[in-house]
Amino acid sequence: MKTSQSLTVLLDTSFLLAMLEQRRDIDEELRDLINGPTRITTLDMVERELQRIGRTRASKIGAMANAALELLILRRYQILSARVETSDTDAAILSFSQATNEPLAVATVDRKLRTALSRLGIATVYPKRHRGLLMSKSVGPSST
């Protein structure tokens, strides 16, 4: 996908965990997918969800959540406020995605979330099985 305007890619918990589990480089694979300026972000709710998983889950998944939190800091991904009163991270992502006026794609492995975003005309990014990412086509915001 070639873009001239900066595309914001919003990372979901499932995407972060899947990419880390498979030892894949998020920045590199997004650069390969998107030929243009990209801003990688996530929501404060995703950060809180990772903190909760890191505290409450034993062994591998908890360690992956803690590694994802470290990655957010090391890569200096911007953490945006969801600006929504809900404990449901997917609902916060949907609400944030609808409210933003800039080009946006949501990186997620969650099929239900991808379907909901697709219905709203919001592009999604998801990993191929071994290497590389795919992006759904966005319909673009309606002018009604």
Asked, for residue 54, whether it belongs to a domain, the answer is yes
Mind listing the pLDDT tens digit for each residue in 41-72?
999 999 999 999 999 877 788 999 999 999 99
Q: What percent of the chain is predicted at pLDDT more than 90?
A: 72
Residue 83's identity, in one-letter code, is: R
pLDDT at 4: 59
Q: Which tens digits make up the pLDDT trace of 84-111? A: 888 899 999 999 999 988 899 999 999 9
Angle in degrees, 0-180, between the axes of helices 44-56 and 59-74, rounded to the nearest 10:
140
Evaluate whether 35 touches 4 at the Cβ level (below 8 Å).
no
Residue 14 reports pLDDT greater than 50: yes
Identify whether 120 is part of a domain.
yes
d(CA 98, CA 104): 10
Number of domains within the chain? 1
- The band of 128, judged by pLDDT with boundaries at 50, 70 and 90, is confident
Q: Is residue 101 in a domain?
A: yes
Position 144 in a domain: no
What is the average per-residue pLDDT within 107-123?
94
Asked if residue 33 lies in contact with residue 132, where contact means CB atoms within 8 angstroms, the answer is yes
Model pTM score: 0.87
Q: Please report, as a single letter, which amino acid is at residue 125.
A: V
Average confidence (pLDDT) over 125-137: 85
Q: How far apart are CA 117 and CA 104, in angstroms?
A: 11
What 3-state class would DSSP assign to 76? Answer: coil
CATH for 93: 3.40.50.1010
Query: Does any domain span residue 142?
Result: no
Weakest mean pLDDT among 12-16, 34-38, 121-125: 34-38
The answer to whether residue 97 sits within a structural domain is yes
Q: How confident is the model at residue 138 (pLDDT cuts 50, 70, 90)?
A: low
Give me the domain span that covers residue 108.
Answer: 7-135
Mean pLDDT of the chain: 88
Summarize the confidence of residues 15-33 as an average pLDDT.
94
